[in-house]
Amino acid sequence: MFILVSYDIPDNKRRTKIAKIMEDYGERVQYSVFECELTAKQQAKLLKELQGVLVEREDSIRLYRLCAGCVKEVKTLGQAKPPAEAPVVIIV
């Protein structure tokens, strides 16, 4: 599943931790925005890791799940690149 993650973390140390976690799961497309292609298990693991760093009264993290049709409709401007398609694996 394609997940778009954005965050607003005022504390520099926590923001760096969140970014490092996100780099393991997806591609940074903006300073605090990542595009991720995840399985349900990976998404659950990501949520658990993020919750371990998050301070609920100060931080904001949003995860948006986009359907395949929605991902194909993403429009980009300037230097932005369209979302990468997940690799297709055919097992015979």
pLDDT averaged over 10-residue windows placed end to end, the chain, 92 residues: 95 97 95 94 96 96 91 81 56 55
CATH pick for 2-72 out of 3.30.565.10, 3.30.70.240, 3.30.300.340, 3.30.70.1290: 3.30.70.240
Token pair for residue 84? 């990468």
Q: Domain residues of the chain, as ranges?
A: 2-72
Structure token digits, residue 67: 């359907």
Give pLDDT, residue 91: 56
* pLDDT value, residue 82: 67
Residue whose entry in the numeric block shows the structure tokens 């100060």? 58
Phi (first) and psi of residue 88, to 5 degrees? -100, 130
Whole-prediction pTM: 0.82
CA distance 68 to 85: 9
